[in-house]
Amino acid sequence: MKDFTFCAPTRAIFGRDTELTVGRELKAAGATRVLMQYGGGSIKKSGLYDRVVGAIRAEGIELYELGGVQPNPHLSLVHTAIDLVREKGIDFLLAVGGGSVIDSTKATAVGACYDGDVWDFYCGKATPEKSLPVAVILTIPAAGSEGSNSSVITKEDGWIKRGLGCELYRPVFAIYNPELTYSLPAYQTAAGASDIMAHIMERYFTNEPDVDMTDRLCESVLKTIIKQAPVAVKDPTNYAARAEMMWASTVAHNDFLSCFRVGDWSSHQLSHELSALYDSTHGAALAVAFPAWMTYVYQHDVTRFARFAVEVMGCEMDFFHPENTALAGIAALRSFFNSIGMPTTLSELGVPDDQLPLLAAKVKRGPDGTTGQFVKLTEEDCLKIYQLMR
Amino acid sequence: MKDFTFCAPTRAIFGRDTELTVGRELKAAGATRVLMQYGGGSIKKSGLYDRVVGAIRAEGIELYELGGVQPNPHLSLVHTAIDLVREKGIDFLLAVGGGSVIDSTKATAVGACYDGDVWDFYCGKATPEKSLPVAVILTIPAAGSEGSNSSVITKEDGWIKRGLGCELYRPVFAIYNPELTYSLPAYQTAAGASDIMAHIMERYFTNEPDVDMTDRLCESVLKTIIKQAPVAVKDPTNYAARAEMMWASTVAHNDFLSCFRVGDWSSHQLSHELSALYDSTHGAALAVAFPAWMTYVYQHDVTRFARFAVEVMGCEMDFFHPENTALAGIAALRSFFNSIGMPTTLSELGVPDDQLPLLAAKVKRGPDGTTGQFVKLTEEDCLKIYQLMR
């Protein structure tokens, strides 16, 4: 059992119409000049933009905005945002969107308080010491960035995608109205489900013994997604399904499920390369990467994979041949991803076979040349896992 | 599904020797003059007192202390603490102990910032507007006060026991070293387990539909206690059992398990009267009260009680007669409490039969004359439940 420090200070404000409280909440948090970032404009079509702007202006807060944040958010837009923050004397950042918008906002928050290039933080050259406060109105349950200490940014020069863990920019508050997710297309809903599950599974597959409680908590949230994602895909205005997915998004990644455990994270590293080079949706890349990683490593701890199969995927335990149960669980996960419309092969992502060595070479590895904790993977291991995704 | 606001800002610092960080943490939190409260002196015998005092003094922090906090902590000692805070210009409060010490410290924190009598907050005459910061070194996993917004104080005049929910005094940080609980006697370990389970069960029995995710999370923590409490009772120095009980104590009561749900809390009200008049250990009173309450109300939602029986107590589902499963679950809970040395009858607590009408009359009820949410209980209902405890 690993020692830990846990703090999830983000205040969650959950329910219908909660976006209308954003002005009041910002004011209470001391905001006077706010930069709001958002994505491709769907919030204008839905009317959310007008409601949010109205609620903020009603409190006499000066509001600036920057739309156009893309999936796998780009460093160049973060630079633009930082310039805007400095030019306008912004003192509070608001993200209205999903993980990409929130991550771009978080990068802006630490970048604006730093003299050098914000990329220094993402490539490990520097550590943030200060951050502007960040708040969120969540529209896509997936990345968990609304409650997490992490953000992921893509540098266009070389298409390098890197994450940064930093307690300073955990959002002050996050607003959740499940109805805001009713308009999410089935594909994005399913990709969100896959992302949430991946965040939990990265924590679930650990070598730490005696972690029953967080094992059970992980299984609980995984089972929630397995139940609710198919409902949300088929019945997009199902409030309960949308609500549980939204809250699961946060719980999966605010480190509550990390207590006592060491996470793995190599499936994320493998999938980051797919997203960086082929602009695959993060969740879709994870749906491809995770079952392949599982197939490659399950023999490292057959019992844990059998437990996953039984407790999460509902497989029957084969006490004579636990390995069969472990494999059945992986197959069931792959089937689940397919059933909600996720890809599970590289060809579905448009990744040609001859690119696999390049991908394997690009995977971020530590000083010892490996990635992952459950099993430490070399470049050769990464290549073999990419080959299992074909 | 109920709307909610959730924020659990307490930073948990978990692991062996973590109490040695208390001076550093207090200093980082801005403390300069600290009042440390503790209980009956067991922390002196164990050496914890010396380690804590040393760690705090090493940071140049001025330290004052007040020992002697009793179980079901008394209002008079809170008054003493408030006087001390004012006299010495204390700016930070530290609780070293379990729920009683923490609750007494929380009451001190709001009382010291208020001109009237702190009891005004507990009897509903006033609402706290300010609080001193509170930190905790936890030695008894039970009340969950180390991460919760609640405290319970007993006024000796009339032996009235009342709780107060207040976000202002949620601890800034809480320190957990499972080894500090190795010396807890079996009875206190078991009473802690019962208290933790009760906090979860108060939330579990709700009329809110579609709360699968928090149902599962509740079940996970309940199963953790059912597994680990007997281990800790029999093998007091089992680190994993002590660690999971400690963390479960916090998770059970920091409101994470309340999301989407309306809690019941009538079993707590029923047990408060037992503790106030007969000074029963809180957890022991709950072990008596909860199965009786369940027996009285299970027909209100047989399915929920059947789910509890199957998912928590491991009973087999009788699909032909779910009522039998519900009753089997209640019986199994009672057996579990007995197996870890908890009482389940009033006679074990030394409560005479002729006192039941007095107890029922004293139970705190709302303006409509009832207590509880799952089923609203009148005074007559309360009496019938007390009679089921015989």
Distance from CA of B307 to the nearest CA of A (A): 15
Is residue A112 domain-resident?
Answer: yes
Query: Which pair of tokens denotes residue A28?
Result: 């209470």
Q: Is residue A6 part of a domain?
A: no
Does A104 lie in the same domain as A196?
A: no
Contact A41, A96 (CB under 8 A): no
Residues B126 and B249 both lie in one domain: no
Residue A283 to chain B, least CA–CA distance (Å)? 21
Question: How close does chain B come to A325, measured CA to CA in Å?
Answer: 22
Which pLDDT score, from 0 to 100, does residue A56 have?
A: 98
- Contact: A13, B1; criterion CB under 8 Å: no
Same-domain pairing of B53 and B191 = no
CA–CA separation, A360 and A354 (whole Å): 11
Residues from chain B that touch A221, judged by Cβ atoms under 8 A, are: 213, 216-217
Q: What is the pLDDT of residues B263-295, one digit of tens each?
A: 999 999 999 999 888 888 999 999 999 999 999
The answer to whether residue B332 scores a pLDDT higher than 90 is yes
For B27-52, what is the mean pLDDT? 96
Does residue A237 sit in the same domain as residue A311? yes
Give the torsion sign (CA, A276, A280, A281, A287). Answer: negative
Tell me the percentage of chain B whose pLDDT exceeds 70.
Answer: 100
Give domain status of residue B159, yes or no: yes
Instruction: Report CA-CA distances (Å) from B294 to A90, B249, B347.
Output: 55, 22, 19
Please tell me the distance from the alpha carbon of residue B284 to that of residue B274, in angstroms, as a whole number.
Answer: 10
In this structure, the answer to whether residues A190 and A141 fall within a common structural domain is no
Give the pLDDT score at A41: 83
Q: Do B212 and A221 touch (CB under 8 A)?
A: no
Q: Is residue B53 predicted with pLDDT exceeding 90?
A: yes
Using a CB-CB cut-off of 8 Å, the residues of chain A touching B217 are 217, 220-221
Are residues B224 and A216, on separate chains, in Cβ contact within 8 Å?
yes
What is the interface pTM, i.e. ipTM, of the complex?
0.96
- Amino acid code (one letter) for B29: A
Are B160 and B143 found together in one domain? yes
Q: Which residues of B touch A239 (CB under 8 A)?
A: 1
Q: Are B173 and B13 in contact (CB under 8 A)?
A: yes
Residue of B3, B175, B226 to mutate, interface with A, max A Cβ within 10 Å: B3
Q: Cβ B213–A247 below 8 Å, yes or no?
A: yes
Neighbour tally for B110: CB within 10 Å: 27
The Cα–Cα gap between A167 and A171 comes to 9
Residue B79 pLDDT grade (very low, low, confident, very high; cuts 50, 70, 90)? very high
**DSSP structural state of residue A252:** T
Q: What is the pLDDT of residue A278?
A: 86
- Final residue before a domain boundary, out of A180, A195, A212: A180
For residue B247, the chain A residues in CB contact (below 8 A) are: 213, 259-260
Q: Considering the domain boundaries, does residue A5 fall inside one?
A: no
Phi-psi region of B235 (alpha: psi -120 to 50; beta: other; left: phi over 0): beta
Same domain, B153 and B234: no
Residue A156 within any structural domain of the chain: yes
Domain count, chain B: 2
- Look up the pTM and report it: 0.96
Q: Which of A16, A211, A213, A222 to mutate to test binding with chain B, by most B CBs within 10 Å of its CB?
A: A213
Picking from B311, B340, B22, B94, the residue whose alpha carbon sits closest to that of residue B196 is: B340
Residues A154 and A86 in one domain: yes
> B213–A12: do the CB atoms touch at under 8 Å?
no
* Domain's final residue, options A161, A180, A199: A180
Cβ within 8 Å, pair B213-A219? no
Residue B155 within a domain: yes
Per the DSSP assignment, residues forming a β-bridge with A5 are B13
- With 0-12 / 13-18 / 19 or more C-beta atoms within 10 angstroms meaning exposed / middle / buried, residue A277 is middle
- Average per-residue pLDDT for chain B: 97
Q: Which helix (H) or strand (E) holds A135?
A: strand A134-138
pLDDT of residue B230: 98
Which of A7, A217, A240 comes nearest B1 by C-beta? A240
Please give the share of chain B, as a percent, with pLDDT higher than 90.
96
What CATH number should be reported for the domain holding residue A233? Answer: 1.20.1090.10
Structure confidence by residue, pLDDT tens digits, B183-223:
999 999 999 999 999 999 999 999 999 999 999 999 999 99
Quote the domain boundaries for residue A211.
186-388
> Could you tell me the pLDDT band of residue B117, with boundaries at 50, 70 and 90?
very high
- Contact list, B210 vs chain A (CB under 8 Å): 240, 243-244
List CB contacts (< 8 A) between B1 and chain A: 239-240, 243
Boundary (domain end) residue, out of A138, A155, A180: A180
Partners of residue A8 in chain B, C-beta under 8 Å = 8
Q: What is the DSSP string of B353-381?
A: GGGHHHHHHHS---TTS-B-SSS-B-HHH
In this structure, is residue B1 part of a structural domain? no
> Going by C-beta distance under 8 Å and a sequence separation of 6 or more, which residues neighbour residue A322?
A302, A303, A306
Closest by Cα among B105, B80, B93 to B33: B93
**Does one domain contain both A347 and A241?**
yes
Contact present, B256 and B8 (Cβ < 8 Å): yes
Question: If 0-12 CB within 10 Å is exposed, 13-18 middle and 19+ buried, where does residue A299 land?
Answer: exposed
Mean per-residue pLDDT for B364-371?
94
Cross-chain residue pair A1–B216, CB shorter than 8 Å: no
Report, as an integer, the average pLDDT of B358-382: 96
CATH of the domain at B126: 3.40.50.1970
Q: Mean pLDDT by 10-residue block, N- to C-terminus, for chain A (390 residues)?
A: 96 98 98 97 94 98 97 95 98 97 98 98 97 98 97 93 95 98 97 98 98 98 98 98 98 97 96 88 96 98 98 98 98 98 96 95 94 98 98
Whether A217 and B219 lie within 8 Å, measured CB to CB: no
A240: chain B residues, CB-CB within 8 Å: 1, 209-210
Q: Which residues of A touch B15 (CB under 8 A)?
A: 2-4
Q: In chain A, what residues touch B16 (CB-CB under 8 Å)?
A: 3
Note whether residue A118 is domain-resident: yes
Residues with Cβ within 8 Å of residue B306, at least 6 apart in sequence: B317, B322, B323, B325, B326, B329
Question: A220 CA to chain B: closest CA distance, Å?
Answer: 5
Q: List Cα–Cα distances, B175 to B96, B136, B225, in angstroms.
A: 9, 6, 20
Residues 6 or more apart in contact with residue A303 via CB below 8 angstroms: A322
| Chain B contact probe: residue of A19, A196, A216, A261 with most B CBs at under 10 A | A216
H helical segments located in chain A? 22-28, 42-45, 48-57, 75-88, 99-111, 119-122, 186-204, 212-234, 239-251, 266-278, 282-297, 302-307, 322-339, 346-349, 356-362, 379-388
CB contact under 8 Å between A213 and B248, yes or no, is: yes
Contact B217 A221 (CB under 8 A): yes
DSSP state of B320: S
Do A231 and A356 belong to one domain? yes
Instruction: Tell me the CA distances in angstroms from A292 to A322, A325, B70, one per residue in order.
Output: 19, 16, 57
Do B330 and B197 belong to one domain? yes
Residues B383, B344 share a domain: yes
At B123-178, the pLDDT tens digits run 999 999 999 999 999 999 999 999 999 999 999 998 898 999 999 999 999 999 99
Number of A:B CB contacts under 8 A?
Answer: 103
pLDDT of residue A258: 97
